[in-house]
Structure 1
Amino acid sequence: MAVIAVSIIKTESWLSSALLFIVVWIFSFCVAMYKDAEENEKEDKEKRKTRRKSRSRSRSDSDDDRLPTGWNGTDEIMVTGLKHGGREKFIREHHQEIDSDNVIDLVREPDNRYDRNAVGCLWKGTHIGYIPSGSAQFLAPALDNGMRITATCDVWTSPDGEALRVYLKFSGKTDKDWRMLERVIKQISDYSE
């Protein structure tokens, strides 16, 4: 294209012909680069689309549909449901009291319309949240079979005060309860992996 343009335009000096040739060549180069970039962008979009589809397929075919456990990998479970029913506000207002007297009562709610394995967490009779459903599916049957455990909590707030977390730590009342609790914790841990 550059050669044709130079031959069509009649110029009087070789310098202006060379300059015109360079300008036309740079323009042609830029157009070609733009077209390549456009094609690459289309290819990238297709690849991203394909990856998204395969990810969503693999998620639905794998164990990634597991219920959340709130398990932190050590010996604590994070309480859920803090945002409902004014619970977060209550916990923020009573943060110091809850931390000093941190015994939490675990109450089975077999008639809960959202989760038949629901285990509520109460502090001095006030509902502050739930055991996450992924953990409750193992904890509820054990509680129904007579396991007696106590839970203590640790209230954590981020330095900026935005995030609020309540972590529970369990302990059995008798040796039998400890053994049952250890089995439940192993089930939760295995399920979380």
Structure 2
Amino acid sequence: MTRRLFLKFFLSMGALFFLPKKSHSYEENRILLLSSVVAGFRYYDGEKIWKKLSKNDTLELRREPTNPHDRNAIEIYWNKIKLGYVPKADNSVIAQLIDRGNRLNAYITWLKEDENPWKRIGINIELLV
């Protein structure tokens, strides 16, 4: 285990103990967990619906624990259309939170016409508390 991975895991686990308990109000607090990009965009249907995507569109995150390449894989969907994945380098903490039943909010933060598929769609993932 690398130092970076250890620190990432250690800090993420520690943060879970200090999250505020759920209040009885209807107001949701949001904690930004990740600002990243969509991985694997060129392999799925994103190109077909590119012109329909907009900044702030809601995204659905789905765990894919049976993925043979990444046991922490998290698929990203827009209106039931698969856009790609949360990058492998960033998905371990998010996967744990999903597996524990935490509520997350994901949305598009930017869109860019670029030949590099890693620079096409920016996303944010927030923890709802």
Q: Could you state the TM-score of these two structures normalised by the residue count of structure 1?
A: 0.45
Q: Which residue of 2 aligns with 1:18?
A: none
Amino acid at match of 2:69: Y
Q: CA RMSD in A?
A: 2.7
Question: What amino acid is the match of 1:96?
Answer: K
**Counterpart for residue 141 of structure 1:** 96
User: Cα distance, 1:135 vs. partner?
Assistant: 0.9
Identical-residue share of aligned pairs (%): 23
* Structure-1 residue corresponding to 2:66: 111
1:155 to 2:111 alignment: yes
Task: Tell me if the contact between 1:95 and 1:155 (Cα under 8 Å) persists in the aligned partners.
Answer: no
Question: Partner of 2:39 in structure 1?
Answer: 80
DSSP-derived class of the 1:120 partner: strand
The structure with the largest helix share of the pair is 1
Once the 2 structures are TM-superposed, how far is the Cα of residue 143 of structure 1 from its aligned partner?
Answer: 1.0
Rg larger in structure: 1
Do residues 124 (structure 1) and 79 (structure 2) align?
A: yes
* Offset of residue 63 of structure 1: 6.5
Retained in 1: the 8 A contact 2:55–2:111? Answer: no
Question: Counting strand residues as a fraction of each chain, which structure ranks higher?
Answer: 2
Query: What is the one-letter code of the residue matched to 1:143?
Result: I
Secondary structure of the equivalent of 2:41? coil
Deviations 1:112-157 (A, max 9, x none): 1111100000111111100111111121011111111111113211
Decide whether the 8 Å contact of 2:46 with 2:83 is kept in 1.
yes
The TM-score, its normalising length taken from structure 2, stands at: 0.64
State the distance in 2 between where 1:80 and 1:129 align.
Answer: 6
Q: Which has the higher contact order (CA 8 A, sep 6+)?
A: 2
- Structure 2 distance, partners of 1:169, 1:97, is 19
